[in-house]
Structure 1
Amino acid sequence: MTDDTPGLLLARLDTPTTSQSIRLAAVADPHVSTRAEGTSKLFEHTLDHFEAAIDDIASRHVDAVLSPGDLTKDGEEWNAAAVENALESLDAPFYAVPGNHDVPKVGDAHDTLAVDGFADRFGAGAYPFHEQVGDLDVLGLNSSGSGNRLTETHDGHIDHDQRNWLAAKLDGVDDPLVLVHHNLEPVTDQLRRHRDRVSEEMAIPPTMRDVDTFVDVLADGGASLVLTGHFHLPLTGMDRGVREIATPTTCSFPQSYLLLEVGPSGTEIRLVPIADQDGLGLAHDRRTRDSTTARGLTSIGAARQHRCRWSTTRSNRQTSTPSNRPRR
């Protein structure tokens, strides 16, 4: 990327590579809600935040937009329709996997969008999926469940059939990007470490079950990059040669998305905020006062942003941070 590229440098990776440069955006956990307000997710602002991200992405000439899910508050049809309307300004294809809030759960007081319907509207028609962007292979997996899987929990799991599918796909592709909602162990462990060292009362959000078996498949197949969401934070981790990049949320602090440049020399990933100073301040304040867990997650996010800014300054890279234009 050039020196006038927006945002903060999050990671520079040797892989994936492509023969010709491509640009991707990753947007996660907008939790779009048109009939709720409050909480640290700022439900009353979720649609504005998501639209701001999509508007900014639309100006970046991306080749595709990826999403690790939680597009809606809880899988409501009216919120899915709002997401669809927001995506109309995109010229690039949009490939999402479902988050734990996009799929049916026991106790839902509304009809939740079926996973097949979610795949038709926001994915590639089915899960798992294999799509190509340029010569980059994107493999999407459903860790969040369906109408008959994981309905009583928000934990994640990659089942046997998907692991077999992934192993077969990895045997035939080079340098894929794997898209999934839930996180791998090294990123999850960063939250546990913060709890143990800083905030003992902080709870850990739902995690990936049987995660080592999933990573075994990734590592054995040479998958070098997994893009996740779920924790609402820009985090990175490494497990047996598999690099996880956790995509931040657009709904609450630090409202932002990721911009990825993939080319012959590797992959560069930048954190692009979509809120101005007042918007970030509101989200930070609301999240720190919401709960012990929300306060802990906000502390981790703020520290990560500071580290990105410090690293960028140390490397003498010039960056700019876009502000929101007035929203309708």
Structure 2
Amino acid sequence: MSLNFRFAVVSDLHIGLPQTIWDHPNRFHLVEVSIPVLERILEDLEQKALDFLLLPGDLTQHGEPDNHAWLQKRLSQLPFPVYVVPGNHDVPNILPNEHSIGLKEFPYYYRQFGYENPEQLYYTCEVLPGVQLIGLNSNQFDTGGKQVGRLDQQQLIWLEQVLSQCQDKLVLVMVHHNVIEHLPDQANHSLGHRYILENGPILHNILKTAGVNLLFTGHLHVQDIAYQEGVYEITTGSLVSYPHPYRILQLCTDNQGKRWLQIESHRVESVPGWENLPQISREWMSDRSYPFMVKLLTSPPLNLPLPDAQKLAPSLRYFWANIADGDAVFNFPEFPTPVRRYFESFSCHTSDGKPALIDNQTTLLLTKN
């Protein structure tokens, strides 16, 4: 089938109505701009003749009913279909409380946006002829009530059954947590592993076996495209964090029947009251980076003594902002050799050391395994 369509991805909206915003000094998120930035993005997308929009989780600041209700109403006013999945912030508790909805309530807010069966936390639907979307739930709770990123066994069995019926379709998969590593040793690092599915390798193997090429995630708040054994994972930065990005994607079929995905990334440059938004949010993030960088320096694999970490951390003030921006290339010649090599390993390089700037603007060739 010759497929040609356009869609967009906006991730980690963290919508917060003014009366719901939590103000704690170390938060990286500029939740104050969530609604005006979303409105600016939607204004642009409404001019793009989209076929649909994907929102891969963290739709709200912290699962507040008012924020879910506001977003549900706003999405219902759009001229194109929208599909969502829950993020960890959308369902922070398994049961509802005075602040947040419970896990099983999420689909009832978003019945128009994928969840035709609100009794189930995952779904599949044909978004266009020959194009099947699968929305997964990566939010689980252990026996102690702690939230973890994982797909339950029942969902994995269901996924394999769905994929077995989609062999002649292009399949798009959306889930909040990362599946493929976007940072060096992300799955094993004490600061990175919570952003990746505990059973990510199992999901990746299922997708690879079924010939699924495209996976859309959020959670990490960075612009990054990772590739592993036939699967591209496209993770999109947060609407409320630098650089306030969103993606517009065009899938085309050429004369030889090959399918190409063109990816364009856009940024919100200003909203009322925040006329220089990228500069403000970059400084906001960097002002709060020192404790994080000290922890990174004193954690494995570097394990630096605290005094050494405290000396180096100021030089890494913009490190995470540059990661979030995508296509980062780092050079720290003044650092001790092991430290220099570690931080430069976060650069967008191929295995032979050449720049691979594909995180924001690129075209991918899709192939069946």
TM tier, smaller = 0.7 to 0.9
Displacement of 1:237 after TM fit? 1.0
Bigger RCO of structures 1 and 2 (CA < 8 A, at least 6 apart): 1
Q: Which runs of 5+ in 2 are unaligned?
A: 254-258, 294-317, 330-347, 349-355, 364-369
Q: Does 1:78 align with 2:66?
A: yes
Q: For 2:151 and 2:103, how far apart are their aligned partners in 1?
A: 15
Distance 1:203 1:217, change over 3 A: same
Map Cα deviations across residues 163-203 of structure 1 (whole Å, 9 max, x no partner). Answer: 1111111122133010000002322437689x9xxxxxx93
Given residue 324 of structure 2, which amino acid in structure 1 is its aligned partner? G
Residues 233-312 of structure 1 mapped to structure 2, 5 A cutoff = 233-264=222-253, 265-276=259-270, 278-292=276-290, 293=292, 296-304=319-327
Displacement of 1:266 after TM fit? 2.0
Equivalent position of 1:165 in the other structure: 158
Identity of aligned residues (%): 24
Query: Which of 216, 221, 224 does residue 205 from structure 2 map onto?
Result: 216
Q: Which has the larger radius of gyration?
A: 2
Distance 1:244 1:24, change over 3 A: same
Equivalent position of 2:53 in the other structure: 65
Displacement of 1:32 after TM fit? 1.0
Q: For 1:25 and 1:227, how far apart are their aligned partners in 2?
A: 11
Contact 1:219 / 1:240 at 8 angstroms: preserved in 2? yes
Displacement of 1:104 after TM fit? 3.5
Contact 2:225 / 2:235 at 8 angstroms: preserved in 1? yes
Contact 2:223 / 2:326 at 8 angstroms: preserved in 1? no
Distance 1:96 1:303, change over 3 A: closer
Given residue 50 of structure 2, which amino acid in structure 1 is its aligned partner? V
Displacement of 1:85 after TM fit? 3.8
Q: Does 1:51 align with 2:39?
A: yes
Q: For 1:109 and 1:212, how far apart are their aligned partners in 2?
A: 34
Distance 1:57 1:150, change over 3 A: farther
Residues 97-246 of structure 1 mapped to structure 2, 5 A cutoff = 97-105=85-93, 110-122=98-110, 123-125=113-115, 126-134=120-128, 135-145=130-140, 151-153=145-147, 155-173=148-166, 174-189=169-184, 203-204=191-192, 206=194, 207-246=196-235
Q: For 1:96 and 1:210, how far apart are their aligned partners in 2?
A: 21
Compute the RMSD of aligned alpha carbons: 3.2
Contact 1:49 / 1:275 at 8 angstroms: preserved in 2? no
Q: For 2:146 and 2:362, how far apart are their aligned partners in 1?
A: 49
TM-score w.r.t. length of structure 1: 0.78
Alignment size in residue pairs: 289
Map Cα deviations across residues 221-280 of structure 1 (whole Å, 9 max, x no partner). Answer: 111111000001111112222110101111110101111112223211111112247111
